[in-house]
Amino acid sequence: MEGTSTVPDPAVPPTPPVPLAALLAREDLALRQIAGPRDPDIVIHWAHTSEMADPYPYLLGGELLLTAGVHIPEAAGSGTYFDDYVSRIVAAGGAALGFGLAPVHDAVPRALVAACEAYELPLVEVPPRTTFSGVARAVWQLMAQARHTELRRVTEAQQSLAAAASRPDPVPSVLRQLAQRVGGRAVLYGPEGAEIAAAGREPGGEVPGALTGREQRGEVPGALTGREQRGEVREALAELARIVAGRSSTTATDTTLAGAHLAAYALGAGQGFVLGVAAPRRDPGDHTIASVAAVLLSLLTGEHQSGTGAARSAALVRLLLGAGPDEVAPLLGGERWVVVHGRPDLREVPDGVAASALGALGSPLVDLDRDVVRVLVPAEREPAPQPGWTLGVSAVAGPHEWASADAQAARALARARATRAPLVRHATRPALADLVPGEEAEAYARTLLAPVAAAPALTETLRAWLSLHGSWDRTAVALAVHRNTVRQRIARCAALLAADLDDPDVRMELWFALRHL
């Protein structure tokens, strides 16, 4: 890697340079390039007029230097004058040379044309009717247009990033939007440097692993394939993220590798998360766009402030050391709770980043348990439907009832998925089952369901099928299996239990047993 530097955080993008080709395309100027490379990527930052024989001390770099050749001596064509003149412009970082015809010269000196070709400096012929001030004005007009376009691009990107942050899967959505806006790859690294989520692709070719035409013909011995280049970029970006994570005062670091522009942004103070960006080019507004994404990701990955981390750590330690739920509950922020089970609508299995989105329910006590996200929420914070999620909510419970509330939330979620409701709450009205002591009910349940108890898939299918009034289709949806699988499992349950599952009395007894198993 080379060119590593800390980057400031501008409020707006800097004024972008103007492609030389855009200036040449202005018909009102009638400019004509007569020497030097015709690369569409050549840009100019401003126009400067000088008749100095050595303009080097007066150039900042990136200029279109305009001259009428007043400084050229009569015998210049027979010596090294033009070579020295052009080499000094190139050494100063000049982007192009504009030579004005009349009143001093009727044509561009051939030795100047040859020198510009030799030093690969674009040489532009300025016709007599075009003034240098007109060229400078055109440059500033084009820069103003580019500035307006870039500001509009940044504004649109900010709006799309904000919209992405409000989606049910906010972190992947922000990364996808950022990767699209910069035309590259965006990666979120965790505190240990692991890649948590990513979107887009590394610069290095349109087709993964594809060889260029010259590589396929063997004209570039030892050249890296597209896949190898992307692998090198991926490793370099991960290393840059580790560097940024290790510098508490660093907010952003840039570097360039094999034509790819890499940047890393530390997210928040002490969080340990880092945003990495790899793009094929570095447009002026890209840093501003990435900075907006970094701020949003800092908020999304930051710890929810509804309870302190120290209190939760203390509660966990006390539980591990033998304390009961009633003792640790006050540390967590409440005496009465509800348990919420959630499944995202857009994917089968949620990941850790998606799970954090349910912190919006008002509790940081979030657990990713296989394919379900579980949240323990204080009862005073009434859980509301969340866009993009299906939720099941338990009845209000004390700490000693958390296990039962967890089962209630699971059943409510299954019913919500089957009925396609965004949120279903466990019914809390008194039931006949409450008349039977819990221990006796559990003993009865174990005895009745013993033939199927060893097969969790059978008991879970039976539970869902009974809760949905024997609907094959809705049970299949709730369990994410084929309806024929449901039929086969229910038939197997009927055979093992030696029971007629069409009998409502049998169904009632089985449902009673399943609730207490």
pLDDT digits (tens, 9 = 90+) for 375-384: 888 888 888 8
Domain total of the chain: 4
Q: Is the per-residue pLDDT at 3 higher than 50?
A: no
Kindly indicate the confidence band of residue 204, based on its pLDDT and cuts at 50, 70 and 90.
low
The listed range with the strongest mean pLDDT (62-76, 266-280, 374-388) is 62-76
At residue 444, the pLDDT reads: 84
Query: Burial letters for 207-224: b for 16+ Cβ neighbours within 10 Å, e otherwise?
Result: eeeebeeebeeeeeeeee
Identify any residues that bridge with 276 across adjacent strands, giving them in sequence order.
Answer: 187, 264
Residue 136 to residue 147: CA distance in whole angstroms: 16
pLDDT in tens, 116-139: 999 999 999 999 999 999 999 999
- Based on the fold, state whether residues 443 and 503 are members of the same structural domain: yes
Backbone φ and ψ of 505, nearest 5°: -65, -40
Q: What is the mean pLDDT of residues 385-408?
A: 87
- Could you tell me if 163 and 285 lie in one domain? yes
pLDDT top residue among 244 and 341: 341
403 and 441 share one domain = no
pLDDT of residue 221: 44
What is the token pair recorded at 119?
A: 């030093």
pLDDT of residue 428: 57
Is the residue at 5 inside a domain? no
Span 230-234, mean pLDDT?
Answer: 79
Whether residue 74 is predicted with pLDDT greater than 90 in this model: the reply is: no
| Domain stops at, among 379, 409, 429 | 429
Euclidean distance between CA atoms 68 and 87, whole angstroms: 18
- What is the pLDDT, as a whole number, of residue 301? 75
- Residue 190 falls within a domain, yes or no? yes
Question: Does 396 fall in a domain?
Answer: yes
**Same domain, yes or no, for 341 and 285?**
no
- Residue 489: burial class (beta carbons within 10 Å; 0-12, 13-18, 19+): buried
Flag whether 8 is in a domain.
no
232 & 282 share domain: yes
Q: CATH number for the domain including 251?
A: 3.30.450.30
**Structural domain ending residue among the three candidates 67, 98, 129:** 129
pLDDT at 8 (0 to 100): 39
In angstroms, the CA 141 to CA 272 distance is 44
Q: Is the pLDDT of residue 216 over 70?
A: no
Contacts of residue 81, defined as CB under 8 A and 6 or more positions apart, other chains included, come to 72, 73, 111
Q: Are residues 124 and 184 in the same domain?
A: no
* Statement to judge: residues 440 and 421 lie in one domain: no
* Residue range of the domain that includes 41: 30-129
Tokens of 118: 């030799």
Please list, in sequence order, all residues whose beta carbon lies within 8 angstroms of the beta carbon of residue 60, skipping any fewer than 6 positions away: 93
Regarding whether 342 and 479 lie in a shared domain, the answer is no
pLDDT tens digit string along 291-333? 888 888 887 776 443 345 566 667 777 777 777 777 777 777 6
In this prediction, residue 304 carries a pLDDT of: 41
Phi and psi at 225, nearest 5°, equal -75, 165
How much is the pLDDT for 151?
A: 85
Residues 160 and 297 in one domain: yes
Residues 235-246: what's their mean pLDDT? Answer: 83
Average pLDDT, rounded, for the chain: 82
Q: Are residues 166 and 294 in the same domain?
A: yes
Phi, then psi, of 511 in degrees rounded to 5: -65, -40
CATH at 444: 1.10.10.2840
Lowest average pLDDT, out of 144-153, 229-238, 404-413, 454-463, goes to 229-238
Q: Are residues 276 and 318 in the same domain?
A: no
Record the tokens describing residue 237, joined without a space.
């970006």
Q: What number is the average pLDDT over the span 34-46?
A: 93
Query: Comparing 273 with 491, which gets the higher pLDDT?
Result: 491
Decide if 405 is inside a domain: yes
- Residues 373, 375, 380, CA angle at the centre, nearest 5°? 150
> Of 301, 329, 360, at which residue does a domain stop?
301
Q: What is the pLDDT of residue 429?
A: 57
Q: What percent of the chain has pLDDT over 70?
A: 82
Q: b/e per residue, 388-417, with b = 16+ CB within 10 A? A: bbbbbbbbbbebebeeebbebbbbbbbbbb
| Model pLDDT for residues 174-202, shown as the tens digit of each residue | 999 999 999 999 999 887 778 888 999 87
Confidence check: pLDDT of 32 > 50: yes
pLDDT the model gives residue 307 = 40
**Is the residue at 99 inside a domain?**
yes
pLDDT category of residue 334 using cuts at 50, 70 and 90: low
The answer to whether position 20 is within a domain reads: no
On whether both 461 and 496 belong to a single domain, the answer is yes
Note whether residue 192 is domain-resident. yes
Mean pLDDT along residues 378-401: 86
